[in-house]
Chains A and B, each alone.
Chain A
Amino acid sequence: MVDFWALALIPLAPLLGAVYNGLLGSRMQARFGKPAVHVPAIVLPAISFAVTVAAFVKMVSLPAGERNLFCHLWNWLPVGGLDAGLAFIMDPLTLVMCFVVTFVGTLIHLYSVGYMREEPGYWRFFSYLNLFMFSMLVLVLGDNFVLMFVGWEGVGLCSYLLIGFWYKEHKNAVAGMKAFVVNRIGDFGFMLGVLLLFWGMQGDWSQGRFRPQPQAASAAGVSAQQPEPAVPAPTAGLTFRHVKERLSEPAFREAFIHKKVFGISLVALIGTLLFIGAMGKSAQLPLYVWLPDAMAGPTPVSALIHAATMVTAGVYMVARLNFIFALSPFVMTWIAVIGVLTAVFAATIGFFQHDIKKVLAYSTISQLGFMFIAVGVGAYGVGIFHLMTHAFFKACLFLGAGSVIVGCHHEQDMRKMGGLGKLMPVTAATYFIACCAIAGFPLTSGFFSKDEILWKAFNAGNLILPGGGIAVWLLGALGAVCTSFYMFRSYYMTFSGEYRGGSRAHDRETGAHADPHQPPKESPRSMTCVLIALAALSLVGGFAGLPRLWHLPNYLHQWLEPVFEGTAGLIRDAGHGASVEWALMALSIALALTGWQLARWLYLDNRNPIPQKLYASRAAWVHGIHALVYNKYYVDEFYNATVVKAVMQARLALDWFDRTVVDGLVNVTRPIVLGLAWLHGKTDNRVVDGAVNGTASIISDAGGVLCLLQTGNIRTYLYLAMAGGIVLILASYVLF
């Protein structure tokens, strides 16, 4: 590991921005105008990006196996065997994440200047956004589980704050709350997983039996001969490298894999619990419900947090902890199955949504599912590759949608859009490029990453599943064609044909638009520049990871290899040959084109009557299917009827318990306490006060008697003194 102090700047620069805008923002905005708010808020994340680039240069100069930069600030929680320091570590995987977060983050800050220009709480928005950058960077840079968890919770908090940014609308506040609560469920699993791992790592199972403190035990053996107190063994606790080193010892690894807790494999339990955390954070089945509602936040937030960075934290976590997950084929299979089910499930919901941001939200869930397929079949690098390309094209799509929404006076319903291609050419072009990328058109970034995911799934050999990787591949391919369809549907509904809006007065928070009837126009340059940059990356970003099949260098794979080499031996493939891979590649291109053509046929220029006919159809089955999918398979309703209602009933039961049992107990104690107080009062008044007053009066009376001796007559004193002297002399004669 190489010390690199500047690493601390990466998270701390946005923190400085958050503190600045949080404490001084409103005053600076009032006095110096908006640049005083947004210039620091953009420059500080840009500094993070610059430091990331510097770290990249530094890492390239090191040999491939030693690309670890380290920055230790101070010891934070040295408690017993746990030693969680405030330390940052950067390995190739972290660098990719840092690059995505700081680059896309800085661009979105820049975009927000245009998007939020009429917002009164401008400073508050930038403060939250910088705080989010800080939390996310702590999440990816932290060198131990505890620091990662701090970032993990921090991004959840910022997500909550930003979803409910327009908190005056009840709907938004509720959406923020929902995101927070659903995330808490996942976080609970994550925390349990970390604690269980900590417990597991402390033990020694070399004899197949758990012994809590191996070092202490051996020290006790020594102390039989020499009685010295056993020194607590210095353990590195929960740092990633410690866990990784420990698990790379073959003896410990074998014992760890075969350890059981209450009959359940420990490593499977840890992996499952950690993955529950990932399910919450990355919006996978069944904890995805918060993400569509999170679209209530401002669109740059949806782009940054709910598409590009925060929701990928789960994927990052699984890739980061590959040395744990790879030990359990069960957990790996489970991750892949959840991923592929989510990918298809969310993609189908995307078919009938009218809200452009809802379409993108379900698309995000679906793409996250693809990433989990990758990490589930052990292709961690590919998952990270898709994470990166997805950050580019999904941020581009969301920001394009934001541009459209601003253009249409805060209208989000695609049925009231249309024809924007002529009015907003830059937005339309960038949106189209990003659609191509997400659909996986050849040579766009999404093609390389998604195709590799599907190939790795097809070729996976370690899934404990009937049909193995082929089943996963089939569903994944279905998800891919759905993706292509609904993305181009949203493109054609929004940008082709004639403008259908303009009849509805906007009712959003700003109220600053002069005339809601005027046609949409292109967004300001600060927004379109960002769109162009992201669209360019959506096009060429895939060249970082070219397929092995083309005999071209796969830079990203080489770069990430040291991180995953420890588990490479645990991942088996099914051994399909190159010809199968070529065929699959051709097939996935065909699927993308199919989806595109279907969408084009149905939705281009709003001419095809079939969608209208379907909506108008009286046939029960058409109606049923449409209602089922449109209402998102009634999952929210199901949760309301089960989980939420159960919690509410439990609340009533607890209320009853509180009122009867707890209050009853309290009321029973009341007379006892009163009696004790009465007794206490009496004791105090009589005994204690009596003793004090008695002492005082005894001394006073004694003084009254003794003062009679003080006659003031000198001769009396002399007589008494003489008498005393005589008595002493006589006494000395008598006694001695």
Chain B
Amino acid sequence: MHIGLTHFLVLSAAMFCMGVLCLLSRKNAIGLLMGIELIVNAANVNLVAFSHFFGNAVAGQVFALFGIVLAAVGVTVALAIVLALYRTFHKSIEVDSASTLRG
């Protein structure tokens, strides 16, 4: 069976939907980060796939590499925020407890 662009797009859409579902259902801050990671990687898959099937250029792969690096950076900062959350809100990383800025 020939593996074409459609397969990659379906895969990436599936990853994106699982990521969104993860964000909507989880209360745990680490879980949210994992969901975000899924969404970012879905985008990376898209970039690499389009790069491969159109244009014959490496631009999309380079963007994907940038995306991975930026995601790592984002997670690093987010984990620091999670630690601060843990200390501030009574040894919990439930995001619902961090709602003191509500209107």
Q: Which residues of A contact B (CB under 8 A)?
A: 706-715, 718-719, 722
Contact = CB atoms under 8 A, between A and B. Distances in A.
Given A712-B98, A713-B96, A714-B95, A707 B24 contact: no
B42 to A, nearest CB: 15
A714 B95 CA distance: 7
A714 B32 contact: yes
Contacts of B101: 710, 712
A711 B24 CA distance: 16
Given A707-B103, A722-B24, 12 more contacts: A710-B102, A711-B103, A712-B98, A712-B101, A712-B102, A712-B103, A714-B32, A715-B23, A715-B24, A715-B95, A718-B23, A722-B20
A709 B103 CA distance: 7
Name which of A711, A712, A713, A719 has the most chain B CB atoms within 10 A of its CB: A712
A711 B98 CA distance: 11
A722 B23 CA distance: 11
Interface residues of B, number: 12
Contacts of A718: 23-24
A711 B101 CA distance: 8
Nearest to B99: A712
A706 B103 CA distance: 8
Contacts of B6: none
A376 B21 CA distance: 122
B56 interface: no
Interface string B82-101: 00000000000001101111
A712 B24 CA distance: 15
Contacts of A714: 32, 95-96
Nearest to A719: B24
Contacts of B100: 712
Contacts of A710: 101-103
Contacts, number: 31
A711 B102 contact: yes
A711 B23 contact: no
Main secondary structure of the interface of A (DSSP, over half): helix
A555 to B, nearest CB: 109
Nearest to A711: B102
Interface string B40-55: 0000000000000000
A710 B99 CA distance: 9
Contacts of B24: 715, 718-719, 722
A715 B35 CA distance: 13
A63 B32 CA distance: 112
Contact of A711 (B20, B32, B95, B99): B99
A714 B35 CA distance: 14
Contacts of B103: 706-712
Contacts of B20: 722
A97 to B, nearest CB: 94
The 6 A-B pairs of least Cβ separation, nearest first, read A712-B102, A712-B99, A707-B103, A710-B103, A711-B102, A714-B95
A708 B102 CA distance: 8
A718 B100 CA distance: 18
B73 to A, nearest CB: 21
B59 to A, nearest CB: 27
A713 B101 CA distance: 9
B102 A713 contact: yes
Contacts of A719: 24
Interface in B60-80: none
A448 B24 CA distance: 129
Contacts of A712: 98-103
A692 B31 CA distance: 50
Name which of A709, A711, A713, A714 has the most chain B CB atoms within 10 A of its CB: A714
A722 B32 CA distance: 16
Nearest to A715: B24
Contacts of A711: 99, 102-103
A67 B98 CA distance: 104
9 contacts: A708-B103, A710-B101, A710-B102, A711-B99, A714-B95, A715-B95, A718-B23, A719-B24, A722-B20
Contacts of B95: 714-715
Contacts of A709: 103
A170 B77 CA distance: 98
A710 B24 CA distance: 17
A707 B101 CA distance: 11
A713 B99 CA distance: 6
A371 to B, nearest CB: 102
Nearest to B29: A714
A707 B100 CA distance: 13
A713 B102 CA distance: 8
